[in-house]
Chains A and B, each alone.
Chain A
Amino acid sequence: MSAPIDLPKWADTILVPAVSVVAAFLVAGLVVVGIGENPLTATRLLLQGSLGTGEGLGFTLFYMTDFIFVGLAVAVAYHAGLFNIGGEGQATLAGLGIALVLNNLTFLPGIILIPLGILGAAAFGAAWAAIPGYLQAKRGSHIVITTIMFNWLASVLIVYLLVNVLRAPQNMNPETPAFPPQSEILFMHEVFAAFGIEIPASQLNLTLFLALAAAYGVWLLIYRSRLGYAIRVVGSSPTAAVYAGISPARIIVVAMVISGALAGGLAVNELMGYQHRLLLEFTAGYGFVGIAVALMGRAHPVGIVLASLLFGILYQGGAELAFEQPAITRDMVVVIGGIIILFAGALEGLFRRFVAHVMPRPALAKA
């Protein structure tokens, strides 16, 4: 066993992640040098591509929206002591929920249809997460295994439905007909244009605000509500939960339901905000990024928003980088992301030790 390391809260929540990100970039830089490119140029291109232009920024924030939802989903389950790996599957099912609601209720006005679509996403995502939750609670089937299995089930289910059931007859692609136009969540550039402000067009849409609201809601739920209290008791000490009369089985299901509903936000952003139809593989592995985001954000909504921004920068900037410098492929960018996950998640303890070591004593004493 090692000695406990006590750091002031600010160091714990900001300094340690910052140090690990810097270290990750240094290592990633070495990798870039290894393939014969200039890491400084690469960094410049990455930042330029993600933050330097209005369009780039729009895309960065669009990805950020995705990551906030899936990060929050992982975090809520995590507070109940559960590792929800099933964000992909839950978001996929949420997409199905959206398609069913929007394409069957085409007669409704947007002001009603949009909330219904969002609810459909939440309900389908929640239901898909509830099953592994129930199996864990009642049968002890490990949630990591079952959620992974449910990712596969979701992906074959959606292929079957899109090819055989939901596809528009004349369409060769496995996708649904377009959603009714009144159900489209407005693009940010459209909103700004309505106020007479011109901003570059991108995929960024109003779902960003829903994501930020969800982050606030999760904070309120986890840290301030009675239910969140019960969730954290179950997550930190199941025996104390039994003593307190909190049923771990019930909380596990409830936490998974909330988690699945949050994962549904990914589908809202991608489908209602951008694609405007249901198509294959719109989740693009973002559900897994949620795990990294939650780890890096220490399962706290503020941390998750910041980590989502970082991963948004990586995704958007990485795409630009791969475009500008062909030697650095998309795969390389994935590697850099992986290094960050490794450093921020797995090696976090190492950096805590480092920070504790170099911090001046008086600062520690004020902890």
Chain B
Amino acid sequence: MNSAIQLIAIDKRFGAVHANKDVNLDIARGTIHGIVGENGAGKSTLMSILYGFYEADSGEIRVGGRAVSIRSPADAIHVGIGMVHQHFMLVEPLSVVENVMLGAEGGPLLRKGEAKVKAELARLSRDYGLQIDVDATVGDLSVGLQQRVEILKALYRGADILILDEPTAVLTPAEADALFELLRALKTQGKTVILITHKLREIMAVTDRVSVMRRGEMVATLETTNTSPPELAELMVGRRVLLRVEKTERKPGAPLLEVSDLSVIDSRGVLRVANASFTIHAGEIVGIAGVSGNGQSELLEALAGMRQPVLGSIRFGGQEIALDRHNPHHMRQLGLLHVPEDRLRMGLVSAFPAFESAILGFSDEPRLGHGPILDHDRMVEDLTQKMEQYDVRPPAPRLKTSKFSGGNQQKIVLAREIERRPKVLLVGQPTRGVDIGAIEFIHRRLIALRDAGVGILLVSVELDEIMALSDRILTMCGGQITGERKASETTEQDLGLLMAGVTDEAA
């Protein structure tokens, strides 16, 4: 086999956490190689070692058969390894060309370098069928296109091996398909791609081989054609996983959250939610299906009190929410809790120790302290308990929030909101970046919450998730609610049409 990369006996510890244990991995040139594993299994750590963010405690990296020392991203680029970060490292006010040039300007005068970059980008676009307007301002591009710019940046710097860490977590399904198209094109040109994802169907669709990590160890590497999602799931978690959670029919109770004619504008003054009306009852899960960016985020924020609606009314438990009380604090006191879509920007404070992030929104709770002073021991004890319950790894309440892997961060947010026994729970993208074992767990929790009489509004770009959890499904398109279905009486195609704005009347 012609190896692009060989990792030999890579070992890495973070204090007590053994993130990579004697990992061996051989990646063939010109293939797409998937890596899967539970949250905290050590996937990102391994890739960070390969890209020079971290140095392994021991072990060897070989690129093209030659042992190399990669001590910084610059070294990695030098040996032809490029990485596309989940959080893009782009300068939004600059154009695509300028972003690609950044750090590779080729001299003090930009003119000459710019011409060279443009020519090179034209060639790359041709070779890989990447369509992109090189003079566009990056900030104006969609997330999918911004990701392309990241890929172009890596290719421009001569990357032969491209690492993508959960690239599809932020993409719409159509954007994800376009990305896979591109990855296949890269493969035919002889590039090697390493793809980390939690979505097994993506692994099945696009990879040639797949490696499974569990608790820091590399437990298997398989030909994709010889395996199946259930097998991968079992390898990852070490037990059988229900890919779809059981749920019984239940009769919804009294109306809890009544929304009528709600209209919301965003900070630029653009109308994002138009005349939305719906009701959430006790003991039901209402899902909102829609391509991301169609007003779901603004709807959630308005219901949570973070955004003032321009029109319409919200009633909670029969009581109308007055405008001057429409704020997150008051909504929380009423019992409307919120798992935000964007855990890093809203749900947590990454610079805080986890136990401080675990009281975000609740720092006024009398039981958390004495008068104006917070009781840290109490907070730590609380979180220790929740970490055990939600199987957060590592169970270290004092560790900085940013040092937990994505899925474990999500569990911290979920534990914080769910364990406070809400009356209504707003949930945005509850399983984004979360592994399948944890998805099963989170789904069970949400259903248990529903069975206990909580009204849940679920927003997710994963149609599977909406269909699996919801009792009723609303579709959103262009800020409007375009349809309503009982989950038991609809299909993906049906919802797809509604999400595309083909309403019942029009059909």
Answer whether residue A53 sits at the interface, using C-beta atoms and an 8 A cutoff. Answer: no
Determine the interface band of chain B, counting residues with CB < 8 A from chain A. Answer: 35 or more
Cα distance A220–B328 in the bound complex, in angstroms: 27
Partner of A226, one of B338, B348, B363: B363
Contacts A3-B72, A240-B345, A243-B347 given: A227-B372 contact, CB under 8 Å? yes
Q: Which residues of the other chain, A, contact B67 by a CB distance below 8 angstroms?
A: none
In the complex, whether A367 has a CB less than 8 A from a CB of chain B is yes
Does B369 lie within 8 Å of A366, measured CB to CB? no
Contact, CB under 8 Å: A243 / B376:
no
For chain B residues 29-64, which have a beta carbon within 8 Å of chain A? 52-54, 57
Q: Name the contact of A2 in the complex, choosing from B72, B348, B372 (C-beta under 8 A).
A: B72
- In the complex, the chain A residue whose C-beta lies closest to that of B330 is A245
Closest chain A residue to B12, Cβ basis: A365
B369 touches A1 (CB 8 A): no
Given A232-B352, A243-B340, A365 contacting B13 (CB threshold 8 A)? yes
Q: B423 to chain A: closest CB distance in Å?
A: 17
A239 touches B (CB below 8 Å):
yes
Question: For the complex, is B143 an interface residue (Cβ under 8 Å from A)?
Answer: no
A66-B374 Cα distance, complex, nearest whole Å: 30
User: Which chain B residue has the least Cβ–Cβ distance from A233?
Assistant: B349
A-chain residues with CB within 8 Å of residue B330 when the two chains form the complex: 245
- Whether B374 and A225, one on each chain, are in contact in the complex, defined by CB atoms closer than 8 angstroms, is yes
For B345-375 the 0/1 string (1 means CB < 8 A from A) is 1111111100010011101100001001110
Look across to chain B and name the residue whose beta carbon is closest to the beta carbon of A238. B345
Among candidates A3, A226, A245, residue contacting B305 with C-beta atoms closer than 8 Å: A245
Residue numbers in B under 8 Å from A334 (CB-CB): none
Q: Tell me the dominant secondary structure on chain B's binding face.
A: loop
A4 interfacial contact with B, CB 8 Å: yes
The reply to whether B361 and A226 form a contact with Cβ atoms under 8 Å apart is no
Interface string of A250-284 (1 = CB under 8 A from B): 00000000000000000000000000000000000
Q: Which of chain A's residues have a CB closer than 8 A to the CB of B221? A: none
Q: Does A237 contact B (CB under 8 A)?
A: yes
Cβ–Cβ contact B376 & A361, under 8 A: no
A142 on the interface (CB 8 Å rule)?
A: no
Determine if B107 is an interface residue (Cβ-Cβ < 8 Å): no
Given the complex of chains A and B, what is the CA–CA distance between A318 and B72 in angstroms?
A: 42
A229 lies within 8 A of B374 (CB)? yes
Q: Is A224 an interface residue (CB 8 A)?
A: yes
Let me know if A366 and B374 touch, CB within 8 A.
no
User: B269 an interface residue at 8 Å Cβ cutoff?
Assistant: no
| Minimum C-beta distance from A298 to chain B (A) | 13
Which B residues lie within 8 Å of A108 (CB)? none
* Docked pose: A236 CA to B349 CA in angstroms: 7
Cβ 8 A contact of B346, one of A227, A239, A366: A239
Determine the distance from Cα of A240 to Cα of B401 in the docked complex, in whole angstroms: 13
B328 engages A240 (CB within 8 Å): no
Chain B residues near A245 (CB, 8 Å)?
305, 327-330, 332, 361
* Most A CB within 10 A of own CB, among B14, B327, B346: B346
CA distance A243 to B348 in the complex (A): 10
| B238 interfacial by beta-carbon distance below 8 Å | no
User: In whole angstroms, what is the CA distance A361 to B52 when docked?
Assistant: 17
**Cβ of A1 and Cβ of B89 under 8 Å apart?**
yes
Question: In the assembled complex, which residues on chain B have CB atoms less than 8 Å from the CB atom of A233?
Answer: 349, 360, 363
| Interface range for A | 20 to 34
Query: Could you tell me the distance between the alpha carbons of A352 and B353 in the complex, rounded to whole angstroms?
Result: 21
List the A side residues contacting B14 at CB < 8 Å. 6, 365, 367
- Evaluate whether A225 and B373 lie within 8 angstroms (CB atoms) in the complex, with A243-B346, A245-B305 already known: yes
A365 with B361: CB separation less than 8 A: no
Q: Which residue of A lies closest to B403 (CB)?
A: A6
Partner of B57, one of A4, A227, A365: A365
Q: How near does chain B come to A246, taking the closest CB pair, in angstroms?
A: 8
User: A350: CB under 8 A from chain B?
Assistant: no
Contact with B along A205-225 (1 / 0, CB 8 A): 000000000000000100011
A1, A224, A236, A244: the one contacting B376 at CB < 8 Å is A224
Instruction: Determine whether B108 belongs to the interface, using a CB cutoff of 8 Å to chain A.
Output: no
CB < 8 Å neighbour of A361 from B57, B72, B360:
B57
A242 within 8 A of B: yes
The distance from the CB of B316 to the nearest CB of chain A, in whole angstroms, is 16
Tell me the bound Cα distance from A242 to B359 in angstroms. 14
Is residue A230 within 8 Å, beta carbon to beta carbon, of the partner chain? Answer: yes
| A230 CA to B369 CA, complexed, in Å | 14
Task: Report A247 CB to chain B, min CB distance, Å.
Answer: 8
List A contacts of B350 (CB < 8 A).
236-237
**Which B-chain residue is minimally distant from A242 (CB atoms)?**
B306
**Chain B residues with Cβ under 8 A from A367's Cβ?**
14-15
Any A CB within 8 A of the CB of B173: no
Q: Which residues of B contact A3 (CB under 8 A)?
A: 52-54, 72-73
Given known pairs A3-B54, A232-B352, A365-B13, the reply for A243 and B374 (CB within 8 Å) is no
**In residues 288-341 of chain B, which contact A (Cβ within 8 Å)?**
304-306, 327-330, 332, 338, 340
> Hey, which chain A residues are within 8 Å of B346, CB to CB?
237, 239-240, 242-243
Q: How far is the CB of B380 from chain A (nearest CB, A)?
A: 13
* Chain A residues positioned under 8 Å from B369 (CB to CB): 226
**Contacts A3-B72, A4-B53, A237-B345 given; does A244 touch B356 at CB 8 Å:** no
A229 surroundings in chain B (CB, below 8 A): 356, 359, 363, 374
Q: Considering the chains assembled together, what is the distance between the CA atoms of A166 and B376 in angstroms? A: 50
Contact between chains at B360 and A226 (CB < 8 Å): no
A225–B364 alpha-carbon span in the complex (Å): 10
A233-B349, A240-B360, A242-B306 given as contacts; is B54 within 8 A of A366 (CB)? no
How does the 8 Å CB contact mask read for A354-366 relative to B, with 1 for contact and 0 for none?
Answer: 0000000100011
The docked-state distance in angstroms from the alpha carbon of A193 to that of B73 is: 64
Contact call B373/A220, Cβ cutoff below 8 A: yes
Are the C-beta atoms of B349 and A365 separated by less than 8 Å?
no
- Taking CB atoms, residues of chain B closer than 8 Å to A6 are 14
A240 to B13, CA, bound (A): 31
Chain A residue with Cβ nearest B338: A243
Of all chain A residues, which has the CB nearest B89?
A1
- Pick 25 A–B contacts, CB within 8 A, sort by A: A3-B53, A3-B72, A4-B53, A224-B376, A225-B372, A226-B373, A227-B372, A229-B359, A229-B374, A230-B363, A232-B352, A236-B349, A239-B342, A239-B345, A240-B345, A240-B349, A242-B306, A242-B346, A243-B306, A243-B340, A243-B360, A245-B361, A361-B57, A365-B13, A367-B14
List of 4 A-B pairs having minimum Cβ-Cβ separation, nearest first: A245-B328, A245-B329, A243-B346, A244-B361
16 additional A-B residue pairs with CB within 8 Å, beyond A227-B372, A243-B338: A2-B73, A6-B14, A224-B373, A224-B374, A224-B376, A226-B373, A230-B363, A240-B348, A242-B328, A243-B328, A244-B363, A245-B328, A245-B332, A245-B361, A365-B14, A365-B15
